[in-house]
């Protein structure tokens, strides 16, 4: 029996939701409605949202936000303060380069250095009692782009489970969260890891897995080319420039999609050697590192679960 599938557009990307009967199109639409709900709350690509309210009041006052938004921001801030490569305060740098958006450019070195002063996660004040967030200096901006998709995917899964969905796929622009057993005889899933030099959906390899999250941070879809030099959209908070290493992508396999987003960013920043060592000691987290010369390196838990095509 084939899955019931429907495509949508949200979060700046194509969304594909699928369920198996007896679930129905109504479950797909309920998932999409939840995406729209969270996009309205969390986006930084519109002038108004709960997160933009915090950003607009940077250097002015603390802003109270609902419990779910506060919890997500707090998680992102605490991860950022580990300084492993994930930084929720990266907003001013992202909006300076604009890579992947209209007006993408290579800023001056002086402008980049000026923005570095605005991306310190220690300067985000959190008040658990009042559930307020205060950015200490005007110009600071929270950007949840590195974590929101994972959070939303996890919320859709919980919604679907409450609605009785037994099998499904939540695909938020390449970040995939699997629900329940697949329809294959062994009940497991086969999920492709994108080949970075081929068109979308052409895989370099395949992960054979139970229902997990499979999330990728890669540099192959959003690039800026100036005078023959390529710049990508994943930034180093120390230099203000795109991260320099030999990686095209890092794919994380985890139970929760939010963990996949955080660790794919950290894994990309740390590179294969340090990133792999860090991930090996995280319970339930596995990774596929793909290099610019298309070599794949996997963590120990994937050695018999990942195969090149």
Annotated binding residue at 265? Answer: yes
At 279, which helix (H) or strand (E)?
Answer: helix 257-280
Place of tokens 């939701």: 17
Burial class of residue 66 (count of CB atoms within 10 Å of its CB; 0-12, 13-18, 19+): exposed
The tens digit of pLDDT for each residue in 204-240 reads 999 999 999 999 998 877 778 888 888 888 999 999 9
Q: Where in the chain is the domain with CATH 3.10.520.10?
A: 3-32+147-308
CB atoms under 10 Å from CB of 141, counted, come to 23
Four-way CATH pick for 50-135: 1.10.238.10, 3.30.750.80, 2.40.128.120, 1.10.3980.10: 1.10.3980.10
What pLDDT does 1 receive?
67
Residues of the chain with CATH 1.10.3980.10: 50-135
Mean pLDDT of the chain: 95
Query: Is 260 annotated in some ligand binding site?
Result: no
User: Considering the entire predicted model, what is its pTM?
Assistant: 0.94
- Could you give the C-alpha distances from 79 to 164, 284, 291, 306, in angstroms and in order? 33, 18, 25, 28
pLDDT tens by residue, 130-173: 999 999 999 999 999 889 999 999 999 999 999 999 999 999 98
Give yes or no for residue 68 having a pLDDT over 90.
yes
Which pLDDT does position 199 carry in this prediction? 87
Residues 3-32+147-308, CATH architecture: Roll (3.10)
Average pLDDT rounded to a whole number, residues 7-24: 95
Q: Are 133 and 63 in contact (CB under 8 A)?
A: yes
Condensed to tens digits (0 to 9), the pLDDT of residues 70-115 reads: 999 999 999 999 999 999 999 999 999 998 888 889 999 999 999 9
Q: Which pair of tokens denotes residue 261?
A: 């987003």
Q: How far apart are CA 278 and CA 24, in angstroms?
A: 41
Which strand (E) or helix (H) includes residue 125? strand 124-127
Query: Average pLDDT of 37-65?
Result: 96
């Amino acid at each position: 029996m084939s899955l019931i599938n429907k495509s949508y557009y949200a979060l700046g990307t194509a969304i594909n939701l699928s369920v198996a009967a007896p679930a129905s199109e109504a479950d797909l639409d309920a998932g999409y409605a939840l995406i729209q709900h969270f996009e309205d709350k969390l986006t930084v690509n519109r002038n108004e949202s709960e997160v933009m309210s915090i950003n607009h009041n940077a250097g002015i006052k603390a802003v109270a936000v609902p419990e779910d938004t506060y919890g997500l921001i707090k998680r992102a801030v605490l991860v950022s303060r580990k300084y492993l490569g994930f930084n929720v305060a990266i907003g001013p740098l992202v909006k300076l380069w604009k890579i992947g958006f209209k007006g993408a450019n290579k800023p001056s070195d002086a402008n980049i250095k000026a923005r570095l002063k605005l991306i310190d996660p220690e300067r985000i004040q959190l008040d658990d009692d009042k559930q307020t967030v205060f950015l200490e200096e005007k110009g600071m901006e929270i950007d949840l782009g590195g974590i929101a998709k994972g959070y939303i995917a996890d919320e859709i899964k919980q919604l679907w489970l409450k609605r009785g969905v037994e099998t499904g796929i939540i695909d938020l622009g390449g970040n995939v969260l699997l629900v329940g057993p697949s329809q294959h005889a062994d009940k497991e899933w086969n999920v492709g890891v994108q080949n970075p030099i081929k068109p979308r959906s052409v895989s370099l390899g395949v992960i054979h897995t139970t229902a997990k999250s499979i999330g990728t941070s890669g540099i192959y879809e959003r690039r800026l080319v100036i005078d023959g030099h390529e710049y990508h959209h994943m930034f180093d908070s120390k230099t203000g420039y795109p991260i320099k290493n030999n990686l095209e992508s890092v794919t994380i396999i985890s139970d929760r999609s939010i963990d996949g987003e955080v660790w794919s960013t950290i894994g990309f920043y740390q590179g294969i050697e340090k990133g792999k060592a860090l991930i090996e000691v995280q319970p339930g987290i596995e990774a596929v590192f793909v290099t610019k010369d298309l070599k794949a390196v996997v963590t120990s838990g994937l050695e018999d679960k990942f195969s090149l095509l």
